Amino acid sequence: MLRWLGRRQLTARLAQADAEALIRDHGGEAYSEARQRERDVTLPDGTTHAGRTPEHWRRVALIVARKTGKRIGLDTATRMSLDADFSKRGEPQSLGLEPQKVDPIDELKRLIRDRA
């Protein structure tokens, strides 16, 4: 159990160090660089860039996103629709029309009159 915990802590420290190095070397493009390294051609031994696994670079990309404040997981169209205000769309007020007050008795009289 302790050996597993030690490996887990080592993996976390390595990912943290790689994330800081990417931010230092690539600045605003650090997240894209980490994702690119994740997608690099996998070598026969199952590793990618610098002998790290794709899972490692995925972890690094998430650390970079958290440190730089990058929003991930949403494409541009989704982010734009989240920022838009559709709350009054389709309401008469948004079209410049005010709803008319109708007395129910007058409306009933009108319907009876029109029917005859």
Residue among 7, 5, 4, 27 nearest 15 (CA):
7
- Cα 82 to chain centroid, rounded: 10
Residue 48's pLDDT band, with cuts at 50, 70 and 90, is confident
The pTM for the full model equals 0.57
What tens digit of pLDDT does each residue of 60-91 get?
A: 999 999 998 887 766 667 667 766 666 655 55
Q: Name every residue whose Cβ is closer than 8 Å to that of residue 64 and which is 6 or more positions away in sequence.
A: 19, 22, 23, 30, 31, 34, 70
Neighbours of 57 (CB within 10 A): 25
Domain range annotation of the chain:
2-78
3-class DSSP state of 27: helix
pLDDT at 89: 57
Band (pLDDT 50/70/90 cuts) for residue 47 is: confident
Rounded distance between C-alpha atoms, residue 36 and residue 64, angstroms: 13
pLDDT at 114 over 80: yes
